[in-house]
Structure 1
Amino acid sequence: MFGFLLIAMRDVFWQTVTKNRYTYLTLGMTAFPLLMVLWFGVGEFYGKQYLSSFVKVLNIWSWILAIFGFGSVYLNKPGRFLTYANESVYPLYILHQTVIVVLCYYLKLTDWGFMAKFSLMVIGTFGISILIYEFGIRRYRWIRPLFGLKN
Structure 2
Amino acid sequence: MIYLTLFIYGFTLFTKKEVQDGIREYGKTFLFLSAITIIGFLVWYYYFGYPLFSTNEYIYFGLLKALCCWYLLLSLMYIGFVHLNHQTEGLAIASKLLMPFYILHQPIIVAIAYLLRNSHIHVIGKYSILVVFSATLTILISHFIVLRLKWCRFLFGVK
TM-score of the aligned structures, taking structure 1 as reference length:
0.83
Q: Are residues 77 and 106 of structure 1, via their aligned partners in 2, closer, same or farther at CA, if it must alter by over 3 Å?
A: same
Q: Distance in 2 between matches of 1:120 and 1:35?
A: 26
* AA partner of residue 6 (structure 1): G
Aligned to 2:123: 114
Aligned to 1:132: 141
Q: Distance in 2 between matches of 1:112 and 1:37?
A: 27
Q: Distance in 2 between matches of 1:128 and 1:34?
A: 35
Kindly report which structure 2 residues correspond to 1:1-151, keeping only aligned pairs within 5 A, or say none.
Answer: 1=4, 2-8=6-12, 9-12=14-17, 13-36=19-42, 38-39=44-45, 40=47, 47-150=56-159
Q: Distance in 1 between matches of 2:43 and 2:121?
A: 34
- TM superposition shift of 1:140: 1.2
Q: Distance in 1 between matches of 2:76 and 2:70?
A: 10
Mean Cα displacement is larger for which, 28-37 or 63-72?
28-37
Q: Distance in 1 between matches of 2:16 and 2:116?
A: 44
- What SS does the aligned partner of 1:148 have? coil
Query: RMSD of the TM alignment (CA)?
Result: 2.5
Number of residue pairs matched? 149
Q: Are residues 4 and 80 of structure 1, via their aligned partners in 2, closer, same or farther at CA, if it must alter by over 3 Å?
A: farther
- TM superposition shift of 1:23: 2.6
- TM superposition shift of 1:27: 2.5
Q: Are residues 38 and 127 of structure 1, via their aligned partners in 2, closer, same or farther at CA, if it must alter by over 3 Å?
A: closer
Q: Distance in 2 between matches of 1:126 and 1:110?
A: 20
